[in-house]
Structure 1
Amino acid sequence: MSATTTAGAIRSGEVLACPVTLRRAPVAAAAGVVSFRMRRVSAAGRLAVRVVAAASAEGAAEAVEVAKGKGKGKKRSASGIMKPKPISPELREFVGGAEELPRTEALKIIWAHIKGNNLQDPNNKKIIVCDEKLKKIFGGRDRVGFLEISGLLNPHFQK
């Protein structure tokens, strides 16, 4: 097959040689949906495109909505450890006065403090040597294992 084949002459399941720039979202055609799937065909790294056509008006309309960014893909509300929850006064003081905070964000702030103040044990990086701020959060402990941090944060988050 030549590289000058037009879109009207391409049949479903046909393999074409093409440049990498053809990797794009599905294209809506008048007869249905046409999408391109890339795959490697040789050791030299040449690419081929498999043309897949679906002849349904609903599929074409759906493909146009997906290409425009509508329809599926609604943003869900935060849940689990991503959901902001009220925090204790000790943790509130540490993070700068926020009333609510997700657990993930609290861990990021604590790790930024640990890295910024070089609080990891030089002999064993898995051990955190607590300064005065961290001692307030971790119940007065001098040394904490990095796997213990999330467990020690449990009392600071109200359920």
Structure 2
Amino acid sequence: MANTAFMKPRAVSDALSAIVGKGPMPRTQVTKKLWDYIKKNKMQNPKNKRNIIPDEKLAKVLGSKKEISMFEMTKKVSNHLS
């Protein structure tokens, strides 16, 4: 059975919608669009692809331009969904 909490459409903050588009949308779709954006803009650390080096737009969501692990990033993105 699918986890319905992940499939439930959630409101998206203005900072996050600048990257993934206007919500509401399920967390699964937010995650997919976020990774599409990261890969398109080559923000993965080439030496450790689990780490993300945010640009200006993504830094607004993450609260910093410092490199961040994809696990930490997921927690920060959760703050932008309601």
Match of 2:39 in 1: 115
TM superposition shift of 1:100: 0.5
Give 1:132-147 correspondences, 5 Å limit: 132-147=56-71
TM-score, structure 2 normalization: 0.85
Unaligned segments of structure 2, at least 5 residues: none
Match of 1:155 in 2: 79
Q: Which amino acid aligns with 1:82?
A: M
1:86 paired with 2:11, answer yes
What is the rounded CA distance, in whole Å, between the counterparts of 1:114 and 1:99 in structure 2?
19
What is the rounded CA distance, in whole Å, between the counterparts of 1:132 and 1:83 in structure 2?
28
Identity of aligned residues (%): 35
Report Cα offsets for 1:49-106 as digits up to 9, x if no partner.
Answer: xxxxxxxxxxxxxxxxxxxxxxxxxxxxx8201110112111122222x130111111
Q: Which amino acid aligns with 2:16?
A: L
More helix by share: 2
More strand by share: 1
Q: Which amino acid aligns with 2:67?
A: R
Corresponding residue to 2:24 among 93, 97, 100? 100
Q: RMSD of the TM alignment (CA)?
A: 1.8
8 A contact 2:15–2:57 mirrored in 1: no
Unaligned segments of structure 1, at least 5 residues: 1-77
What is the rounded CA distance, in whole Å, between the counterparts of 1:99 and 1:112 in structure 2?
17
Q: Which has the higher contact order (CA 8 A, sep 6+)?
A: 2
The SS at the match of 1:156 is coil
Which 4+ runs in 1 deviate beyond 2 A? none
What is the rounded CA distance, in whole Å, between the counterparts of 1:118 and 1:143 in structure 2?
13
Name which one, 1 or 2, has greater alpha-carbon Rg.
Answer: 1
